[in-house]
Amino acid sequence: MGRKEVPEIYNIIDNFTDKIKLKTPVISLTHRGYFSPFVAGIKNYTIVLSPTLIEKLTWNEKETLIQHELSHIKRKDNLIGWIALILRDFLFFNPFAYIAYNLIRSEQEKDSDKLVVKYSGKPTKEISKNILNIILKMKSLSTVKKDSETSYTFSF
């Protein structure tokens, strides 16, 4: 997606990438039933967003969400996450590999949130509220999707 299609997202990105000294990533919108945003790429990054989720978020929530994803890029969490996943799967027989993987992922999320607080200039309470609202909206969208799916059974 280019700047013409999602200018407000790129405005948020430009403002935050200047602060954390990061190259501007590409934005990709997915219309699939996956609402959780994520980062893809190793050298050139792409932030994948759900347009359905973006429509539901307030301006402050969008800003927090984009800043959080940019923080993952700054921290190189994508690369570390892949290495942790490969090690977890390679050591599938060891239950500690699963525990370590989940701890790494949890720390990545917390540390990305800390970067948002550090560079956004907003109070921790406001960032926390935005993150909670984003999670609740993602959960409600996932629930609506599941409820709207219809299953058909055939009787003979």
With H, G, I as helix, E, B as strand and everything else as coil, classify residue 149.
coil
The tens digit of pLDDT for each residue in 130-143 reads: 999 999 999 998 88
| pLDDT score at 153 | 44
When computed from its CA atoms, the radius of gyration of the chain, rounded to whole angstroms, is 18
Share of the chain above pLDDT 70, in %: 91
| pLDDT score at 1 | 66
The tens digit of pLDDT for each residue in 61-118 reads: 999 999 999 999 999 999 999 999 999 999 999 999 999 999 999 999 999 999 999 9
With H, G, I as helix, E, B as strand and everything else as coil, classify residue 111.
helix
pLDDT band of 146, cuts 50, 70, 90: low
Q: What is this structure's pTM?
A: 0.87
CA 74 to chain centre: 13
Instruction: Say what angle helices 77-90 and 95-120 make with each other, to 10 degrees.
Output: 170
With a cut of 50, say whether residue 150 has pLDDT above it. Answer: no
Query: Tokens 């990533």 appear where?
Result: 25
Rounded (10°) CA dihedral 49, 116, 136, 2:
-20
pLDDT band of 2, cuts 50, 70, 90: confident
The tens digit of pLDDT for each residue in 15-37 reads: 999 999 999 999 999 887 788 99
